[in-house]
Amino acid sequence: MQAIAEDMETGRIVSVEIPSEGLEELQALAQERVSDVKLQSYIDNLDLSADAKALIASILKAAVKVGDLVIKVGKRIVEIVVMIVSKFPNTTFGLVLGLLVGALVSAIPIIGGLLGAFVLPIAAAFGLATGYMDDIRDQSLAKKIAEASAMFQPLKGNPNVTS
């Protein structure tokens, strides 16, 4: 079975040959769980700049065609991110805080350039781990991430890029 997608930046067509045994999973992946209106309303209510919202809107448009099915991959990714942010707020907050600390260290004149490359990923990982530990006490983040990743397994295959 052939999966076809268009690279949104270059316009090149990418095709992947995928096994036909995963048709049921692909149909489940193609089913709409959240309406476009509800998802767009959620995005509109975020405290983000117009540029960030436009970026999210462009991600929403990403789709893959598999036979007669059109799978809105971008929409599914945004749904998963929204679900993770809402179900695991401590992990999200910890990561954002770690990235902020790393960015602040990077902004320090003279030593920021030297330390930033090391501090940013360490601070982000520390914030993520700390938030994760807080959330893991309440819920299983790893289980939700595995479930989200498993949704996209039927699309696994060998890519073939054409112009």
Confidence of residue 27 (pLDDT cuts 50, 70, 90): confident
Exposure letters 78-100 (e unless 16+ CB within 10 A, then b): bbbebebeeebebbbbbbebbbe
Residue 162 has pLDDT above 70, yes or no: no
Give the model confidence (pLDDT) of 53-111 as tens digits.
888 888 888 888 888 888 888 888 888 888 878 777 888 889 889 999 988 988 888 88
The 10s digit of each residue's pLDDT in 121-134 is 999 999 989 988 88
Percent of the chain with pLDDT over 70: 91
d(CA 100, CA 106): 10
CA distance 89 to 159: 35
For residue 77, what are its two tokens? 């990714």
* Angle at alpha carbon of residue 71, lines to 68 and 72, rounded to 5°: 140
